[in-house]
Structure 1
């Protein structure tokens, strides 16, 4: 977990994605070993007593620490430019464990009204049972965010690229506002991934991901990731240990493998998604197309500044005739009907918004994906 300095800190992102992590691999294997052990040996009683003081980070029991997980956390911290990181068994485990740590015993969280639907429901239905308070606001309106602060506000929680409409929020403005009120900025950066930009580099205090998505990239494992300030990570690690929300060693190895190709995959998906977004804009069946690379999209200028012009692989659209939504959804042949995102395979999801279809663009041949999207949209004519 304590990953502030590694031998790859000065390298570029693509190099860190491949090489950062597990700097002390005793067996010298190229791939990080999967350490399948529930418990770890105590040298003596003094060692046992020492570990009792650091159960969340010491080699004691895999509910708090595991060498394969440590290797992943070292890589996560390195790629996010953060002092420390934690890995969880799902994205929602990362979100719930983090917000519970910050909001328990009367803490107030300001949350974007456009966060992931499960995050919204968890905050609405369960957060208060642990003593937390939440206010949902439109984070596109900084004045509305400003008005929501209370003396007990501990964090502002938002997605930088919103799901599913791809609004891009004023990242730096929200961070500055949180800090002006002595609160934390907690950013869910799942849609963008570290390949596009890294919120910690812009002043965010904690950055969370559903690592199931782009970090994995192959649709095989559930995982969550958190990076940020050392003291906060230590505090959250203790609750993770108590709740048992740590990632398994095998799933940690899966994320480690996926991260090695993250930059390549997101680069390819971004190029293709931009092409598909332009195709959708020009098609007579669509009403609105949501993609940060489109000049008319909310936050396009911010996205350009943050990413340097690589806008990611997610796009959404609505139809002029909403009665044709099912026909369009059913007409896809190459793009798979599934609810996840960030995979090498392209996916289409109906989403919780009854009017929206969302596409996660993969790494297939762009011509084939364009043909499949056009055929599906033609089903609405």
Structure 2
């Protein structure tokens, strides 16, 4: 059905989202209680540091506002691309997805590894960083950020390298239904480019945790203004006078460039604040990790090609190829990483295998 949502549909979306968030909170409550966290209302607001928290929070709110301004402009450009493609009839099958549909859906897919890996590790890191910052241990803050970056890269970089190889299969499996059944391939270039953006976004996101630990939220706001301006300027410049079908990929290029600038600026500034982020060690680690991920991706590519050679270009083939490529990537990174003595990969593998059930485990 074309057209805007009705008031009842908007109400359903709003209530459904709110209910989902409430359920997430309820699920966490038993675990918080088990961890010893208790809740007791307090009304003695004076002298509790709320004023300081409010001052920090103002810059965080402004950070969100800047992000929303940039996002709104990008969405407007993407929506214009969709409208132009419909008018010109250039979408595949006379009505395939373009512009905003591709950009938004590809972004959601790319945010999955970020949400699982990066957000989880950053959340676990922040209390330690805050404790180090409170003790005046700036070196400890830098070491904590650098260590978390290395561990996160061990999870994210293989995805970044693999995604361009399997972008078409992901598009087929995730989007190749209904109206997009014949136009799912249009999602692949955007997904592949978003992989690059994911790396820079992850780097920027992790470094910002260091600023938050130091309570430098005003500085974070300034850096994010730079990211937003670069994103807007490049989004406008790269989408002027182009084929509407190129709107989404070009917006992703603008996004990746913006966060590349943001990651570089935030890294340099935080490094100067805390006396270094173990740059030499991080660079050596990145080179070895790229070698491991690159070789593993070659194996994954070979496995994908073999599956399609046998099963053809069907949805089943895409699903099997995606599974085979993923398994080969994981196994390849684990084996090659161990050969290259990448300790962080061993830590990640140990963390995952340690949570798997073992046969013959004695019950206590």
The alignment's TM-score, normalised by the length of structure 2, stands at 0.25
Choose between structure 1 and 2: higher strand proportion.
1
TM-score, scaled relative to structure 1: 0.24
Structure having greater relative contact order (Cα 8 Å, sep ≥ 6): 2
Q: More helix by proportion, 1 or 2?
A: 2
